[in-house]
Amino acid sequence: MSAIYHVITPSGERLIEASTRAVAINFAVKSSVTAKSVTASELYALTKSGVQVEVAEPKKLDENQTKIEGV
């Protein structure tokens, strides 16, 4: 079953039919956002230039952690 999601990006607003919110977001940004693994030397160079490592964790939707976004 799918739903229509209102996805807002820096380049504009889109209405996307998808099975989940995550699928809609992925579809909307896949052409403008990239990600790749880095080598140790790339990691060193990037952190030396000031780029900080961020830890991506699911957003907790309630204090008891019974609902976690994306799970």
Tell me the pLDDT tens digit for each residue of 9-65. Answer: 888 899 999 999 999 999 998 878 888 999 999 999 999 999 999 988 776 666 665
C-alpha 46/C-alpha 53 separation (Å) is 9
* Under 8 Å between Cβ of 70 and 60: no
Q: What is the pLDDT of residue 67?
A: 61
The rounded Cα 20 to chain-centroid distance in angstroms is 13
HEC letters along the chain: CCEEEEEEECCEEEEEEECCHHHHHHHHHCCCCCCCCCCHHHHHHHHHCCCCCCCCCCCECCCCCCCECCC
